[in-house]
Amino acid sequence: MNVTLASTWYPRGETNRLQLHINELRATYAQIIIITPPEKNLSKRGLAEVSELNRLPGILVRQPDNWSGGRYAALQASLETNSSYIQYADLDRLLRWVETLPDEWLHTVDKIMSSDSLIIGRTPFAYQTHPAALVRTEAISNQVVSHFLGRFMDVSAGSKGFSREAADYIIAHTIPGRALGTDAEWPILLHQTGFQVDYIEVDGLDWESADRYKDHAAKQEDQLQAAIQYDADPRNWEHRVEIAREIVESALSIVARQTWQRE
């Protein structure tokens, strides 16, 4: 493989599962980059997990001062490698995918190497495992971003592929800031400047948050119960509305900037 994994990870008990699958990851990716929050943003348990992560062989771990720029830092670090292609992934989502549907994961990594940019979205099966708070708010942000991409895409699944040229263009023409706004900013930037933006949907990006602090990926019934509990807390709905707002604002901002640049 000629693909570097550029990932961000806020530790929530995944280290033991990562250790179990590290050989599969190392066999698949030319380089593995993991960006974690700075120490000031981590609990004692989180600090212990990052310490364990640093002991795993074959992984480049970095802790930028500003966690909101984590995705940017991951993509930027990937350009320090010799790989021709990069997969950006939220590590907790990727780990679940590797555990539950490894053949689909490997097939998707292979597809990354035939595209300028590959947005990896969720099938209806994968989406129905998520809480309603995510489904309903992401429907709005996905609709806005899809409008500017000229076709429907689920852009919020935390997994995207880029050629080296596309990743270099993103780093040269964006700045870190709105972390989840990159779901809109990166594909729209590439689309409006002539890069081909492709799209696939996979089952393996089903809801990962139910896996937290477990020693294995949660089963569907556990996902369902966790989703019900998630939706019962109004603060989670407020949080998801704020995320959707961030993505929509990022979409409108990059479109306005690109329009100005072309005039």
- In sequence order, the 6+-apart residues with CB closer than 8 A to the CB of 139 are none
Place 210 in a pLDDT band, splitting at 50, 70 and 90.
very high
The answer to whether 11 touches 42, Cβ cutoff 8 Å, is yes
Mean pLDDT on 66-74: 92
User: For the segment 237-254, what is each residue's pLDDT rounded down to a tens digit?
Assistant: 999 999 999 999 999 999
The answer to whether 75 touches 67, Cβ cutoff 8 Å, is no
Q: Is the confidence at residue 257, as pLDDT, over 90? A: no
Q: Is the confidence at residue 228, as pLDDT, over 70? A: yes
Mean pLDDT on 11-33: 94
Question: Which of helix, strand or coil describes residue 118?
Answer: strand
Mean pLDDT on 28-52: 93
The CA distance from 145 to 23, in Å, is 36
**Report field, pTM of the whole predicted structure over 0.85:** yes
pLDDT given for residue 262 in this prediction:
43
Place 58 in a pLDDT band, splitting at 50, 70 and 90.
confident
Phi and psi at residue 90, to the nearest 5°? -70, 120
Please tell me the total count of domains within the chain.
Answer: 1
Please report, for the chain, how many H helices and E strands are present, in that order: 11, 7
Question: Which of helix, strand or coil describes residue 36?
Answer: coil
Beta strands per DSSP E along 181-255: 197-202
Phi and psi at residue 14, to the nearest 5°? -90, -5
The answer to whether 60 touches 134, Cβ cutoff 8 Å, is no
Largest separation between any pair of C-alpha atoms in the chain: 54
Place 222 in a pLDDT band, splitting at 50, 70 and 90.
very high
Mean pLDDT on 63-83: 93
CATH for 205: 3.90.550.10
Beta strands per DSSP E along the chain: 3-8, 31-35, 60-62, 85-90, 117-122, 159-163, 197-202
Mean pLDDT on 153-170: 96
Q: Is the confidence at residue 202, as pLDDT, over 50? A: yes
Q: How far is CA 126 from the centre of its chain?
A: 15
Q: Is the confidence at residue 260, as pLDDT, over 60? A: no
Mean pLDDT on 213-225: 94
The CA distance from 152 to 48, in Å, is 41
- Tokens of residue 9, six digits: 């990870």
The CA distance from 144 to 184, in Å, is 9
Residue 163 Rama label (left phi>0; alpha psi -120 to 50; beta): beta
Mean pLDDT on 37-50: 91
Residue 145 burial by Cβ neighbours in a 10 Å radius (0-12, 13-18, 19+): buried
Domain that holds residue 225: 3-262
Mean pLDDT on 62-72: 91
Mean pLDDT on 97-121: 97
pLDDT given for residue 179 in this prediction:
86
pLDDT given for residue 175 in this prediction:
87
Of the candidates 12, 75, 74, 77, which has an alpha carbon nearest to the alpha carbon of residue 42? 12
